[in-house]
Amino acid sequence: MATIYRKTYTQHLPHNTKIVERNGQKMAMWIDGKGKKHFDQITTGKKDQIKIIRYSSQFTAQYRGPDGETVYESTGCRDEQAARHVFG
């Protein structure tokens, strides 16, 4: 059985980002080029710079291969239920 999840990655803070508190957590609030507000979790990078945590648009499957090694494979699905169906 495979574990299905979205990978995370970090990005530098976009221009005009404000650090706000939302639901008891510090978050980055920024507005994209289309005028949409985004709230993202923040973390500290290697050189103590503040970065935002983003999630991949597609789901990833993690499972054990026939030789026992861990395999990470993109499902190509943007919906979790569809990704589970692919590796179900």
- Model pLDDT for residues 7-66, shown as the tens digit of each residue: 999 999 988 899 999 989 999 999 999 999 999 999 998 999 999 999 999 999 999 999
Cα distance between residue 54 and residue 57, in whole Å? 9
Domain of 62?
3-86
**Number of structural domains, the chain?**
1
Amino acid at the residue 87: F
Beta-bridge mates of residue 12:
51
